[in-house]
Structure 1
């Protein structure tokens, strides 16, 4: 379960699309007003505030749980850029409509697969490390550690890029050295070669997390 907490906390940065807002979740400050480390700390705090005291209700209503993820993470994630990175070379083959559908379907699959893990999230689980990047650069990393029940620390790094208007948004998550974008790009690449991009999107739209599990299994078996 703690492994799912780690993944849920990290992968909530995955491809994001708007959803109804849970009333108890605090509104997120505009990303343009914050440095990357402030964004990550704010997300950790908002997540704890939204979940604490509501676990029983959220366990019964996953839609509200997923809406918290949208409310907390959506303002700070570069949707278009992340989905293009996950599609890799196939992004050039996809139509604008296919890229949009892929982003939405992939996000829905990810959140439904890992949302339950966030019910174990509590304040203090995530330690945001001091920021050593240069805000004059266009890309930087924010390093954090997730504290497990046994006291062990799992390193999670968030990759950010600065937009043309100067705002910082995340586009990748690196868990113990493994890139979320790279991991899923390999799986998506194998699946597109197997069934084609349109069928992949349809599988994600109709099968959701089951399609993700199939992709992961096929990718593992092929190695």
Structure 2
């Protein structure tokens, strides 16, 4: 389980960056959105990785500004919480969205440290003209290892195409969290899950880089 979690954190963090450049992508098809940004993002990582990793606040700010707008965190949180979502009060739902969003930001930031110029390939994509849901299939190639398939589940919204799940080597990110969230809720209730997520996020809160005199 730990190996799977590390692989998911690493790959999700890497691949989600493919959405960080096109801020105004309302009318861009989902596959084009991913393809057109990959080269640009790779360039950014090569150029700024050392600086960003030395200042986690800048790294988190970059992710918050460039990556997160392309994800539907309301939908992702609702799917991750599963059947317990309807039991949550509106206040609890907003807290769950906030903490889950923060958790994923921390995950993506930590995963960036593992980026090492892997190659991203895209599988043929077909979508009906009036489709509102699509899956973009890719794979990550790295020397000495089997390619890792990555599937992006996306939905068309008024603000353009948004990601609501990522499957890594056949394992859904949302489903993976749903299992652990359900266990936490059964043991400690919805407030217990919120408390656990908040505590984890607090532990991993960004720190300012050390200054030299």
Q: Shared fold by TM > 0.5?
A: yes
Length-normalised TM-score, structure 2: 0.80
TM-score scaled by structure 1?
A: 0.77
1:188 counterpart (177, 181, 191): 181
How far off is 1:181 after superposition? Answer: 0.9
Q: Aligned pair in 2 of structure 1 residues 129, 112: CA closer, same or farther (>3 Å)? A: same
Cα deviation, residue 169, structure 1 = 1.0
How many Å separate the matches in 1 of 2:159 and 2:200?
A: 38
Map 1:1-223 to 2 at 5 A: 3=7, 4-10=9-15, 28-121=22-115, 125-150=119-144, 152-163=146-157, 165=158, 167-208=160-201
- 1:126 offset after TM fit, Å? 1.8
Unpaired runs of at least 5, structure 2 = 205-213
Match of 2:211 in 1: none
Kept in 2: contact 1:173–1:181 (CA 8 A): yes
Q: Which residue of 1 aligns with 2:209?
A: none
Mapped to 1, the partners of 2:76 and 2:11 lie a distance apart of 20
Task: Give the aligned CA root-mean-square deviation in angstroms.
Answer: 2.9
Per-residue CA deviation, residues 156-190 of structure 1 (Å, 9 max, x unaligned), is: 00001122x37221100011111111111111111
Alpha-carbon distance in 2 for matches of 1:139, 1:70: 24
Q: Judge which range, 202-211 or 175-184, deviates more.
A: 202-211
How many residues are matched? Answer: 199
Deviation at 1:33, TM superposition (A): 1.7
Structure 1 residues 73 and 43, CA gap change in structure 2 (3 angstroms): farther
> Where does structure 1 lack aligned partners over 5 or more consecutive residues?
14-25, 212-223
Task: Please give the per-residue CA displacement for 1:168-218, whole angstroms capped at 9, x wherever unaligned.
Answer: 21100011111111111111111101101112101211223879xxxxxxx
Distance 1:113 1:137, change over 3 A: closer
